[in-house]
Chain A
Amino acid sequence: MKTRAEVIIIGGGIIGCAVAYYLAKQGQKDVIVLEGSDHIGNGGSSRNGGGVRQSGRDVRELPLVMYGIKHLWPTLSEELEVDCEYHQDGNLRLGKTEKHREILTRLADNARGVGLDVRMIDGDEVRQINPYLSDEVICASWCPTDGHANPLTTTLGYYKMARRMGVRFISGEEVTQLRVMRGKIRQVITKNNVYEGDSVLVAAGLDSREILTSVGIDIPMTNSLLECLVTEAQPHMFDQMLGTAEADFYGHQTKHGSFVFGGSSGLERYNKDNGMVSNSSKTAPCICRGIMKYFPDLAGAKIVRTWAGWMDASADGVPALGKVDEIPGLYVACAFNGHGFGIAPAVGEQLAKLILTGKTDISLYDLRYDRYKAKI
């Protein structure tokens, strides 16, 4: 089996698959992607709620996601020859109290500061956009260029196309450590093999921390659980992406007709999960109660499936992206904090460019891996 390549990517999630695809598209096809689990896209890439949104994001990651929504998402289905189910019909971030209004107003003001079209609207205007919302909703932030897509087909679409162009994907290859040789990154050691590359990208979600520790790099992040549920197919109701000021739940109606909603119980840090990513019996009922307050009409919709996923939560809520200065050839893309899906095409394209040319169109300076400082 071939174990040498120009670029080794650790992590076969949407980030790893997208970087591989854009590398191949830009001419670099000598790439190996190592996925630790048995399945491509098995972490957050397949477990998220499908948001392709800008509103509600930290201003440090907004330029990247805005770039992706403008230049990459509109043609992605065509490019990947798969239905990404991308909808750009806006995002309502809903509020029910004055405190919610304050939170949403602050987020909207910050986002407008970097050029995003997002504004506050009152309850009546919210119900003009989405007539199914209950009278409890008194305000929302409205970002008309936000939307949603299907994380499963998008992730696997990147994989399919990268593989078709000659990228080598190997699943079940759990990376245990990296090795520096002659002052540069060189080896990627798995439980079964040793791989060699000139450039190595670590995009392994939570596991990135342990992998990077082997070469003395530490990115402060921890796991945080989120759960999702999906209903049976319903008649078409609305196309917007929805969230709430307090993040009680978020979600959308899919092309298939089902509603996908994500949320939490608030007890996640104390769940008894035996180290596995698993649902808590308390969470889905809690999400249902949250949804029914906003959408009374959905009380009769049947839940067919629930699942859970870990987010890689960093100390300041935004990802660590770019090249590692101390170790030439080493790159990181992790700590997406549960909102890595919508930003993934932009990250993939820009990181591929960084690896090939040393430059990016969008500055990654605010997201550098060594930005974490103590509070005093």
Chain B
Amino acid sequence: MNTVNDRTRDIGPFIPQEDDDMLICRCEEITKGEIRQAVHDGMWTLTEIRRYLRTGMGLCQGQTCSKLVKSIVARELGVSPAELEPATSRVPMRPIEMRVFANETKEEAYED
């Protein structure tokens, strides 16, 4: 946490790759090329990538693609994936209908 990260460090140019149009985040339909380009636009943390591109923001909330995104970003930055902190997981674990979520105040214990 809170590691000094100078965003002007040279990570080299963006070089197009053959599989850049491969879908990585299937929920939000984000490709490998878009993720790599975002790194060159300055998005150097998984949290920034997610906010910029919506990777991991769809129905599965990143449970499918977050590892893949991490390895792509790490390779582009030239660092080990272990150095990248995962984006924060958010409540709820599974999508919940509003009418169900809203029921938290029912006090059945008092009904007798």
Q: For the complex, count residues of B whose C-beta is within 8 A of A.
A: 37
Contact of A169 with B8 in the complex, beta carbons under 8 Å: yes
Listed by A's residue number, 28 A-B pairs whose Cβ atoms lie within 8 Å are A38-B1, A38-B45, A40-B48, A155-B51, A163-B42, A168-B6, A169-B6, A170-B6, A170-B7, A171-B4, A171-B7, A171-B44, A172-B2, A192-B4, A232-B59, A232-B95, A256-B54, A279-B91, A285-B101, A285-B104, A288-B98, A288-B102, A299-B97, A300-B97, A302-B96, A304-B61, A305-B57, A306-B90
Q: Which residues of A contact B61 (CB under 8 A)?
A: 304-305
Q: What is the CA–CA distance of A299 and B41 in the complex, to the nearest angstrom?
A: 39
Contact of B98 with A291 in the complex, beta carbons under 8 Å: yes
Q: For the complex, count residues of A whose C-beta is within 8 A of B.
A: 49
Q: Is A41 an interface residue (CB 8 A)?
A: yes
Contact of A168 with B8 in the complex, beta carbons under 8 Å: yes
Q: Which residues of A contact B3 (CB under 8 A)?
A: 38, 172
Q: How distant is A235 from chain B, measured CB to nearest CB, in Å?
A: 16
Residues of B whose CB lies within 8 Å of any CB of A are: 1-8, 41-45, 47-48, 51-52, 54, 57-59, 61, 85, 88, 90-92, 95-99, 101-105
Q: Which residues of A contact B90 (CB under 8 A)?
A: 305-307
Residues of A whose CB lies within 8 Å of any CB of B are: 1, 36-42, 46, 152-153, 155-156, 159-160, 163-164, 168-174, 191-193, 231-232, 256, 279, 281-282, 284-285, 288-289, 291-292, 298-307
- With A38-B3, A38-B5, A168-B8 in contact, do A300 and B51 touch (Cβ < 8 Å)? no
Contact of B45 with A284 in the complex, beta carbons under 8 Å: no
> Which 7 residue pairs across A and B have the least CB separation, nearest first?
A302-B95, A285-B104, A288-B102, A152-B51, A169-B7, A299-B99, A288-B98
